[in-house]
């Protein structure tokens, strides 16, 4: 008898994540904070992750590395591995998929994770998939393991925005091939049972794009670590800060840079973007085109405390995205007491409410006007910053997120038990 058979007892949780960037990208941040809070509630947690591996906050959290070929490492993207790096047919599939322009990681990680879970099926009471949605996930329930899945937002939205931004038939075809895994994720999401998502906006998009039954989807917002993100005193005059987990049109960094370029002709402002732009990619080219010079700086690879200090040093924070399924950066900016300007896109109005200033996504002129207004009025900055801080304290806390997640685990375990009993009775009748 497992620990999960005891009502209210501790659970043994397997958390799956095909890539887990620790400081940017919602999946890695979610994994880090949720695993810590589950441990603090008394549960046992083991993270199964591909590269980049996560940073975990408790020694008690086990990390089982499920290595891929790491074909997209920052220092050598789209690399060709040496022959001795190929271990099995999954590695061959991964490389072949990449060479034909696709993104194989969700599929190949799911196959590797299924193999690991099959070997260790008695070690866990429940499996929680952090938006892998690979075909291998369909085999998890057949191992006798209840499955709960988090979909932060359907990647179909990213695909749509990237295709709209693509120039020429070759680039559009390339984007379609890269995002080919989205149809697999849609297929899997309709067949894996309970889904957790982070906002009403994401739920609507999951139902619309992935055709998931809305009765299978529960909304559970994310939290913020207020030990890291909190007001810290003096702010740097004219400083604007933004975070972007990817150098992609969906994050709207281009809109922010164009708006800052307009404001900088009249006011002493500068922007720091927490991101790593693609070398000689569209963002770097835009910086040169706008002649922003020392008015813009990109930082990456900084520690949690350095990130907290940076966010709290800004006079204005901006989330200029063209879409967000939730936006942890928005909540982290608000937790820092920094007045927030955010796009009226995706879940951002739902997350920010009336505690920030909302602007039309992609509208450079409106964003520039809003930045001028906040730059010129210390009183308005103080009002908006205080409203954001109050909203975070009221709504977004990781301990509450973890407790609610555990209740979803227990519900999935009960449902799995009913299905198993029903199947057993059917077998006896025949």
pLDDT at 92: 97
Find the length of the chain: 430
Sheet with 296-299: list strands edge to edge. 296-299, 270-274, 239-243, 316-319, 340-343, 357-359
- Phi, psi torsion values for 265, nearest 5 degrees: -75, -20
**Region 225-251: what's the mean pLDDT?**
92
**Region 189-197: what's the mean pLDDT?**
95
Q: What is the DSSP letter of 131?
A: S
Express each pLDDT in 87-123 by its tens digit.
999 999 999 999 999 999 999 999 999 999 999 999 9
At residue 240, does pLDDT exceed 90? yes
pLDDT at 233: 86
At residue 5, does pLDDT exceed 60? no
At residue 256, does pLDDT exceed 70? yes
pLDDT at 75: 84
Q: How confident is the model at residue 262 (pLDDT cuts 50, 70, 90)?
A: very high
At residue 338, does pLDDT exceed 50? yes
pLDDT at 423: 64
Q: How confident is the model at residue 247 (pLDDT cuts 50, 70, 90)?
A: confident
Express each pLDDT in 397-420 by its tens digit.
899 899 999 999 999 999 988 766
Beta strands at 147-150 and 195-197: parallel, antiparallel or unpaired: parallel
User: What are the Cα distances from residue 246, in Å, to 81, 251, 408?
Assistant: 24, 7, 30
Residue 181: its H or E element: helix 181-189
User: What are the Cα distances from residue 218, in Å, to 149, 215, 339, 398, 411?
Assistant: 10, 8, 30, 17, 12
Express each pLDDT in 352-373 by its tens digit.
999 999 999 999 999 999 999 9
Q: With CA atoms as reference, report the closest residue to 402 among 150, 227, 106.
A: 150
Q: Exposed (0-12), middle (13-18) or buried (19+): which is 215, by Cβ within 10 Å? A: exposed
pLDDT at 424: 62
Average pLDDT over all residues of the chain:
93
Of residues 26 and 18, more confidence is placed in 18
CA dihedral of 93, 94, 100, 101, whole degrees rounded to 10 = 160
Contact assessment for residue 346 and residue 153, using Cβ atoms and an 8 Å cutoff: yes
**Residue 6 falls in which region: left (phi positive, over 0), alpha (psi -120 to 50) or beta:** beta
Based on DSSP, count helices (H) and strands (E) in the chain, helices before strands: 15, 13
At residue 421, does pLDDT exceed 70? no
- Phi, psi torsion values for 334, nearest 5 degrees: -65, -40
Name all domains of the chain by residue range, CATH numbers in brackets: 3-223+398-429 (3.40.50.2000), 239-395 (3.40.50.2000)
Q: How confident is the model at residue 21 (pLDDT cuts 50, 70, 90)?
A: confident
């Amino acid at each position: 008898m497992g620990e999960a058979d005891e009502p209210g007892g501790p659970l043994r949780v397997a958390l799956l994540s095909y890539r887990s960037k620790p400081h940017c990208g919602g999946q890695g941040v979610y994994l880090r904070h949720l695993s810590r809070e589950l441990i603090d509630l008394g549960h046992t947690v083991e993270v199964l992750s591909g590269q980049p591996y996560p940073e975990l906050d408790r020694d008690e959290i086990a990390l089982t590395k499920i290595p891929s070929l790491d074909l997209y490492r920052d220092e050598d993207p789209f690399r060709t591995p040496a022959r001795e790096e190929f271990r099995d047919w999954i590695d061959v599939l991964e490389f072949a998929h990449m060479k034909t322009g696709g993104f194989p990681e969700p599929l190949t990680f799911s196959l590797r994770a299924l193999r690991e879970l099959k070997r260790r099926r008695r070690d866990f009471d429940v499996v929680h998939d952090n938006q892998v949605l690979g075909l291998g996930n369909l085999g998890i329930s057949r191992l006798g393991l209840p499955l709960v899945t988090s979909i932060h937002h359907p990647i179909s939205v990213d695909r749509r925005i990237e295709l709209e931004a693509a120039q020429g038939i070759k680039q559009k075809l390339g984007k379609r091939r890269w995002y080919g895994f989205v149809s697999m994720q849609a297929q899997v999401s309709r067949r894996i049972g309970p889904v957790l998502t982070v906002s009403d906006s994401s739920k609507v998009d999951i139902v619309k794009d992935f055709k998931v039954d809305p009765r299978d989807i529960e909304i559970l917002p994310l939290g913020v670590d207020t030990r890291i993100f909190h007001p810290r005193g003096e702010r740097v005059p004219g400083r604007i800060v933004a975070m972007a987990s990817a150098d992609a049109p969906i994050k709207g960094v281009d809109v922010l840079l164009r708006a800052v370029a307009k404001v900088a002709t009249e006011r002493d402002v500068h922007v720091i973007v927490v991101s790593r732009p693609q070398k000689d990619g569209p963002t770097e080219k835009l910086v040169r085109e706008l002649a922003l010079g020392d008015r813009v700086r990109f930082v990456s690879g900084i520690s949690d405390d350095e990130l907290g200090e940076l966010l709290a040093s800004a006079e204005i924070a901006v989330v200029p995205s063209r879409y967000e399924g939730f936006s942890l950066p928005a909540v982290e900016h608000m937790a820092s007491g920094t007045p927030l300007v955010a796009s009226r896109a995706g879940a951002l109005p739902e997350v920010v409410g009336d505690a920030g200033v909302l602007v039309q996504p992609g509208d450079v002129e409106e964003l520039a006007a809003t930045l001028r207004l906040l730059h010129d009025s210390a009183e308005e900055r103080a009002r908006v910053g205080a409203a954001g801080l109050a909203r975070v304290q009221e709504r977004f806390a990781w301990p509450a997120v973890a407790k609610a997640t555990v209740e979803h685990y227990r519900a999935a375990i009960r449902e799995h038990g009913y299905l198993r009993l029903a199947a057993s009775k059917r077998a006896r009748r025949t």
